[in-house]
Amino acid sequence: MDPKKINWNTVNRVIEKYKDMKWGLIPLLQDLQEEIGYIPPDTIEPVAKATKLHPSEVQGVISFYSGFSTQPKGKHVFKVCCGTACHVKGGKSILNHMRAELDLNEGETSDDYQFSLETVACLGACFLAPTMMADKEYVGRLTPQKVKSVVKHHRKEDT
């Protein structure tokens, strides 16, 4: 399936849920991203209309929150922590191993939309440093071997 093809039934269902709600914009965008995986730029106009805002205001909110993305992401998203606690425990080297395993730089998505690699400032799990998130799961006390096996596990899941 082409990840750039918008499922308008889903978009309209989400928009309908928050239509005319005074503070509905952020939960609407969160739902949209959760359901579609990203916020397609073509949805900004209908979202603005439903929430009675100007499209530039919607765009402004999307740009302000780093959690929102207007680009499709991979099926699996790896977020490597680059916060201080993780940095001290070798986070940079973990990031380099992730780059090598996935053949991606941070902020990139593989051509087949299987993987995205991101960095974050702190995952709030410093006691597990160095830490990352593999989709919604925390993976801590990372080593190069653990990085390899996490990526391998997610590759296997898809075969």
* 123 versus 139: smaller Cβ distance to ligand FES: 123
Q: Which is nearer to ligand FES, 46 or 90 (CB)?
A: 90
Which listed residue (53, 77, 122, 134) binds ligand FES by CB under 6 A? 122
- 138 beta partners: 133
What CA–CA distances, in Å, run from 52 to 25, 46, 48, 155? 10, 10, 6, 43
Within residues 80-109, the interface with ligand FES by CB under 6 A covers: 81, 83-86
b or e along 77-95 (b: 16 or more beta carbons within 10 Å of the residue's beta carbon)? bbbbbbbebbeebbbeebb
Binding ligand FES (rule: CB under 6 A), the pick from 126, 134, 144, 148 is 126
Residues that bind ligand FES (CB under 6 A): 81, 83-86, 122-123, 125-126, 129, 131
